[in-house]
């Protein structure tokens, strides 16, 4: 979350000519986009368009078939092991189901990255883990195991873990999926709070319209047939001005659907 008086001007994320896929088969081709520092940036699109695939390639879980990804001006895709390890500390990831380690309590889940990457004392780590969990509204649940809490709480605990090292960039994979509207709204507020307080850059993979229109500064929309980006810009602007029927369909899908003729 570093607050910076004189941060460098390089974008938080710079993606150039990125081709994502598995076993040599491209799912997304030649993607290029940048995410500014402190921006809430959404990757949107229908199911199966490659949103999560893009996320996996951005965070280095899958090697790209072509292209580069830069974080804060430093190449992530071509970085050697030491540089990569350093860059890994610049971002945190909230996975779809929280991905909490089931054998550890919530406090231990949040503390583990701090134990691995800092020289803080056990007491300090404990204080910080407690704070992070309090920030996501999980005070009193520090010593619970993931199996003992609800799905929404797991996501919030996953977010606390993603924030444990105070990263400059946080990736969130479908943060609202499976959550009730109130919890989803609270998560959105938390995202905005993180940006306002710490200037964190947030990359959110989602297809929840309420979140997209509620908190996104800018979005890119992916399409399965196109295997790439079909729209880019602020969501309201896209909803009002885009003439692409795929974009219109997606961003106006909250309109009451007509029953198909039988």
For position 136 contacting another protein by CB under 8 A, the verdict is: no
140 lines the binding site for another protein (CB under 8 A): yes
Q: Using the rule CB under 8 A, is 6 a contact of another protein?
A: yes
Question: Residues in the chain, how many?
Answer: 262
> Which tokens belong to 177?
């999926």
The Cα 216–Cα 65 span in angstroms is 29
Instruction: Say whether residue 115 binds another protein (CB under 8 A).
Output: no
* Residue 47 lies near another protein (rule: CB under 8 A): no
Give the separation between CA 243 and CA 233, rounded to whole angstroms: 14
Beta bridge partners of 79: none
Whether the CB-CB separation of 228 and 28 falls below 8 Å is answered with: yes
CB of 59 to another protein, least distance (A): 16
The correct pick among 26, 66, 112, 131 for binding another protein (CB under 8 A) is 131
CB of 31 to another protein, least distance (A): 25
- Give the whole-angstrom CA distance, residue 219 versus residue 17: 18
* Candidate list 29, 144, 149, 248; residue touching another protein; CB under 8 A: 144
What does DSSP assign to residue 5? S
Number of residues that bind another protein (CB under 8 A): 40
Residue with the two structure tokens 């993606």 = 15
3-state secondary structure (DSSP) of residue 53? helix
| Residue 75 interacting with another protein (CB under 8 A) | no
Structure token digits, residue 210: 């309420």
Q: Which CB atom, from 166 or from 217, has the smaller least distance to another protein?
A: 166
Binding site for another protein (CB under 8 A): 1-8, 72, 86, 89-90, 102-103, 114, 117-120, 124, 127-128, 130-131, 133-135, 139-140, 142-144, 146-147, 165-168, 197-198
């Amino acid at each position: 979350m570093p607050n910076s008086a004189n941060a460098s001007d390089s974008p938080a994320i710079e993606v150039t000519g990125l081709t994502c896929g598995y076993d040599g088969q491209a799912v997304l081709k030649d993607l290029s986009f940048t995410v500014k520092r402190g921006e809430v940036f959404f990757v949107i699109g229908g199911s199966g368009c490659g949103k999560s695939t893009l996320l996996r390639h951005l965070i280095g879980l899958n090697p790209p078939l072509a292209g580069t990804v830069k974080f804060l001006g430093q190449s992530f895709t071509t970085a050697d092991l030491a540089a990569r390890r350093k860059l890994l500390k610049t971002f945190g990831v909230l996975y779809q189901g929280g991905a909490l380690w089931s054998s550890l309590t919530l406090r231990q889940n949040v503390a583990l990255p701090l134990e691995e990457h800092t020289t803080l004392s056990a007491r300090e780590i404990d204080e910080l883990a407690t704070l992070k969990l309090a920030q996501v509204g999980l005070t009193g649940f520090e010593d619970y195991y993931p199996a003992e809490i609800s799905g929404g709480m797991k996501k919030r605990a996953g977010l606390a873990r993603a924030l444990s090292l105070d990263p400059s960039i946080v990736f969130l994979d479908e943060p609202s999926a499976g959550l009730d509207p109130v919890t989803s709204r609270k998560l959105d507020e938390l995202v905005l709070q993180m940006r306002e307080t710490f200037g964190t850059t947030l990359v959110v993979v989602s297809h929840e319209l309420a979140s997209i229109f509620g908190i996104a500064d800018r979005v890119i929309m992916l399409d399965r047939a196109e295997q790439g980006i079909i729209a880019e810009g602020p969501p309201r602007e896209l909803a009002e001005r885009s003439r692409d029927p795929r974009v219109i369909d997606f961003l106006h899908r909250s309109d009451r659907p007509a029953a198909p003729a039988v």
